[in-house]
Structure 1
């Protein structure tokens, strides 16, 4: 029992990196996804092409490759980033691309008649989006955004590839040291607890936005 308690405390030191990266990515990628999704449905053709290239690149290449490029390749071009900064930038851009397509699909699923009704009421484009379209969009995209949120907590383990001491890396080091699989079982339980909390939070958000049904 003491062994389990000791190794759990050691692994929990790495959870700070995992949760910090998770929060930073969520805080910045969601607004980024909303803004870019609005840009992709705008009437500016050049902007739509540019944003489509962005989502094509970041959705079409592995997250690990993107992480390697930002951390190892950018220094060759004279841009050197600290591990956490490189990881944050990569994750924000990657998840921003996926969320862009989710929000775009959600916005385009709203009936066009609602835009016309808002125009009759004298609302401008910004007011229409903020007061009518986006609240309904959020309700519709909650399930896929929840899936992305769960995937994100698991993807944070990739930062071990650039030398960051996250939750999973801590478990791997203990397994290598002690030749014991218990750390992997414990870290699996920790991930399951975190994902369960995420699902619970999104269920409450879904209830909050159920008024827009």
Structure 2
């Protein structure tokens, strides 16, 4: 037990590395604050295109995009974008590479959530909105999309929680997010306590969101 505490719950190590890990936590929060809106907006545009288009080419192109990027491992995608694109003459900084890779990946997941939300709206809603004089775009913005978001809001929250955990993969390109900061501290101190502290910090960050998600899902099940 003493060895377990020394290696994973060493309070002296926690105190020493906490400021360094706190900087990593802010990087994780900043990354999430950038990736989530990009994924939400891109996913919404894909879902609208998928459900509203009359072009079979556009429809199947969006379906192919969603299937490919949902199946493609995000770690491999990040490695390809950061290390592979320079061979095409595109030199990307670490942050840009992470945003592109995770944006492409998460847009596909958000698109499926938004698609389910839009398809849950009765088709008569569009005709009713158009009959009031709204254009198709206005009907989407002010009638269909707000209802769709309400119907799938717990799923959007759940996917956003996964995005926060996904940011740990940014450590492979040496972006100093929380996990990278913890691993750097571990290598310097020869003690895994910083990684455990990082896990506890993730828990403190995500647990309130997970409880909120549980509340939203419970409320939806009673509607």
Q: Assess same fold via TM > 0.5.
A: yes
Counterpart-to-counterpart distance in 1, 2:26 and 2:199: 16
User: Secondary structure in 2 aligned to 1:81?
Assistant: coil
Instruction: State the match for 1:88 in structure 2.
Output: 99
TM-score w.r.t. length of structure 1: 0.88
TM-score normalised over the length of structure 2: 0.85
Where do 1:31-180 residues align within 5 Å?
31-41=41-51, 42-180=53-191
Equivalent pair of 1:149/1:198 in contact (CA under 8 Å): no
CA deviation map 1:43-79 (0-9, x unaligned): 1222212222221221111000110110111111111
Q: Contact between 1:159 and 1:166, CA under 8 Å: does it hold in 2?
A: yes
**Where does structure 1 differ by over 3 angstroms across 4 or more consecutive aligned residues?**
197-204
Say which SS state the counterpart of residue 44 (structure 2) adopts: helix
- 1:23 alignment partner, one of 25, 29, 33: 33
SS of structure 2 residue aligned to 1:99: helix
Do the aligned partners of residues 146 and 109 (structure 1) sit closer, same or farther apart at CA in structure 2, a change above 3 Å counting? same
The structural deviation recorded for 1:162 is 1.4
Match of residue 196 from structure 1? 207
Larger displacement relative to structure 2 (173-182 or 19-28): 173-182
Greater shift, 173-182 or 13-22, is seen at 173-182
State how far apart, in whole Å, the 2-side matches of 1:93 and 1:18 are. 18
Q: Structure 1: where are the runs of 5+ without partners?
A: none
Q: CA deviation at 1:102?
A: 0.7
Aligned residues: 208
State the Cα distance separating 1:196 from its structure 2 match. 2.8
Deviation at 1:200, TM superposition (A): 6.6
Could you tell me whether the CA contact under 8 Å between 2:174 and 2:180 is conserved in 1? no
**What CA RMSD, in Å, does the superposition of the two structures yield over aligned residues?**
2.2
Describe the SS at the equivalent of 1:110. coil
